[in-house]
Structures are given as C-alpha cells and as structure tokens.
Amino acid sequence: SRRRPVRRRTMSKSLDEIADLQAVARGCYEDRFCIPIDSDASDVASTEPDVLSRDAHVDYLLKGLRALPQGFTSLDASRTWVVYWCTHGLALLGYDLHVEDEALARDVVEFLKSCRPSAGLGVGGFGGGPGQIPHLATTYAATCALVTIGTDYAREALDFDAIRAFLRAMKDRDGGFRVHEGGEIDVRGCYAALATAHLCDILDGGLVSGVSAFVERCQSYEGGIGGEPFGEAHGGYTFCGLAACWLARDPNRLDLPSLERWLANRQGEVEGGFNGRTNKLVDGCYSFWQGGCFPMLERCTNMLLVRCIEQSRSTRYSTSRVHIDTSLIESEPRPIGVCAATVFPPKPAVGSASFAANALQGWILDCCQSDHGGGGLRDKPGVGRDHYHTCYCLSGLSVAQHYGRCDTIDVVGPETNVVAKIDPVLNVVEHKYKAWMALIEAKDDAVEN
C-alpha cells in the first residue's frame, strides 16, 4: 500500500477521527483501482471493485451457528440475536438453511425453543438465551430467525397466544413499550413489538394505539429520531421509529422531509457509507439502519406531495424583492479527489432514491469485507469482523442493489455480487417473508374450517 499524505491536525478529536477514516477509505479506493493520488478518478468507470466473497461469508456464518469461541461469553444475553444475524445473513447470500442442512436448521429451532421463558421467568416471548427473561428485542430476533428457516416446525416454535400476552404486558399507557418487565420504554421496543406481532399475524389496535404519537415525540430538531423523547437522533432508533410508524400505518405523523434530509446527510461522500449520528464515523452497520429507511420514505412520496400541496395553499408569499449577493455563491465545483462519490457515480434514472446507492455498495465491498478474501464483514477498515456487522452490511447491500433505483436491480461489480432482496420494514428476505405469511394464513384458514 502506498504512503498516505500527512494531514494537518484540527482542534477536534472527532473531526480528526473522521478525517483519518476518510484517508483510509480514499486509500482503499486508490489501491483497488490503481488510481494516482492526484487523479480526479474520471478514468476508472470501467474498472470493477472487489467481488463479494460469498463462499467465505457463508462459511463464517455457518461456523457462528454451530459453535462460538470462549470470547463470545460476553454475548450470552444475545445468543438469539447471533442466531438471527447468521440465519438472515445466510439467506441474503442465497444459502437456504433448511434445504442445505436440515439437521442444523432443526438444531437452531430447538435452541430457540429453549430460549422461551420457563416457569417464573415471565409469559411468552424469547430471552437472549436459555433461562433468561423474555425481552422484546430478542423476541423479534428469534421470530425473524424462525421466519427465515420457514418450516412447519419453525412455526410450531411460536406460541402466538403467549407472545400476544407478552406484548400486551409490555405495552405502556403512553403508547410505547417496555423492552422487558420493569425495563426502559423506547423506540426500539415499539418496533420490536409491532414487527413481532405482524410476523405472528396478531397485530391489533391495542398494540398499535399511541405508538406513532410516542415516536413523534422522539423525533429531534435535527430530523432524525432518538431512543426516547428529547434524545439525540440516532440511526438505529431512526429506523426503528420510522418502521414502527409504518407498521402502525401512520408514518405521516412524522416530519418526513426533515427526516429525509437528516438521513441523506448521514452518508459520507468520501467513504460512501453512513454514520449513525452527526459528526460521527461512518460504520458498516448503518448501511442498513440508515439505508433501510429510504425504501420506506420512497413509499411516503404521495404523503409528502399531499403535505407540500396543503402547506403551499396555506402559505402567504411576500411580494417584496429580496436582493441576493451572488458573489457569495460558489460557482466553481469543489474538488473532492478520489472517493466513493467519484469512483461510484450514480447512474441517471427516473425514480432514484435519495441516497447514493452505488457509493454505498462500493463502501461495503471495498472497505467492509475482511482482508484477503476472508469471511465476515466489519465496521470499517482496520477492525475485526463480527456476525452483527456481517448481517447488517449484507442487508445494506441488498437495499442498495434492489431499492437504489425504481424497479431496477443495480449492481456494482459482477452480477455474482447480487444478494437476495429484503423486506425493508422487517429486515427479512422478501421471498422468505411472503412464504411465511402464506404459511400463517393457510394455518389460520385450516383452524377456522
């Protein structure tokens, strides 16, 4: 790797860290495309980035399902999450677990069944591991893993009546949800509860009541959504809040233009990926947490148009002239050098999303995959891989490929880089979700008849 230019240090540690990561990202793109440092990257359009190391990622995720090393004991309360990250990641890569390894799929279902609460630990839901109290987040994770496996024995692991009782018990009178008995009330709980209820076909007015009003109170002055009222806008909570409002069929309760502006400003033009908060580092997991919001916002287009029309009708415009000093406006384009914005320029198309989908794919492929073709994806260059980032980097790649342009699969690199399309509200592979809901509906019809 060639030597990087020395940067001048600023007065802010945060700004220095951002600049450091940008320099690393530029280096990744320069090395990958063999671009001279002083180049404007205009001559690299025909060069392909790294391919998706599909087989290596599959091997990494399968190992995570079968056994974890001793160092993972700190994640004992997140074992259901690890199952979801691995099963969902495999499905995105086209590996159908119950077809390829039915014995392992059954073992996964049996493990998840052991995470249901025993006597004295609560009613319904799933804990993070065997013998743990039920929690809304791990209940969502376990449910999504079972949906992804998608078999009859996976469905039978869900006690719908017990889950309904658990969700109702976590419902708070202010419209939100406690994440567990005696736990905090936040946007994450709202999303996990409604998503679980939807996948179990038990979503009702009582669960939905007040959710969108609670999320509205969590939207900050920046436009993003915090975990609770008056909290800082954050990528993960923003996704959960917007998706919860979608599941409640009331997304227009939010200030959607402000939300979209905040989301668009989270994407780094140099790195190509998203950060989670203002003035924070780009992180691979936000490829989904931020990127996954745009397909939902795209579905809000009609609502936005109606709101703009209503606002324009009620606005009184001044007839006085306003003088603008045009000398203060930059007329020359700002040189930004080799970066995701120049190496992966967007393709002109009608119906493009409000984010740079090609740049996001470039960040994931060139900066978030493990070095030397190893399996697993990571937060950013220079850090280790893990199952969490593997799951959400692949989910973000799916969003960028399938939702970056209207009704078009847009792939950076070879066609073999294509991953499965997700349902962006639930973060479950779309065809898995549709098959699951059909299975639930068929079982309900059989009971009624």
Residue showing tokens 């056994």: 67
Cβ contacts of residue 118 below 8 Å, gap of 6+? 131
Residue showing tokens 């065997």: 130
- Catalytic residue check, 285: yes
- Catalytic residue check, 431: no
Cβ contacts of residue 405 below 8 Å, gap of 6+? 347, 349, 351, 352, 353, 357
- Catalytic residue check, 380: no
**What letter would DSSP give residue 278?**
T
262/161 Cα distance (integer angstroms): 39
Closest CA to 395 of 85, 50, 55: 85
- Give me the catalytic one of 389, 402, 405, 432: 389
- Give me the catalytic one of 88, 277, 378, 405: 277
4/266 Cα distance (integer angstroms): 25
Contact 123, 162 (CB under 8 A): yes
**String of DSSP letters for 356-399:** -HHHHHHHIIIIIBPGGG-S-EESSTTS-EEHHHHHHHHHHHHH
Is the CA virtual torsion 395, 396, 398, 402 positive or negative?
positive
207/190 Cα distance (integer angstroms): 9
- Give me the catalytic one of 234, 266, 380, 402: 234
- Catalytic residue check, 140: no
- Catalytic residue check, 277: yes
- Give me the catalytic one of 240, 386, 391, 402: 386
Q: Return the H-helix or E-strand segment holding 410.
A: none
- Give me the catalytic one of 186, 283, 366, 410: 283
- Catalytic residue check, 286: yes
- Give me the catalytic one of 28, 115, 245, 285: 285
- Max distance between CA atoms of the chain, in angstroms, equals 76
Tokens of 352: 């493009």
Distance set, CA 232 to CA 220, 237, 278 (Å)? 7, 10, 9
- Catalytic residue check, 403: no
Which positions are annotated as active-site residues? Answer: 234, 277, 280, 283, 285-286, 379, 386, 389
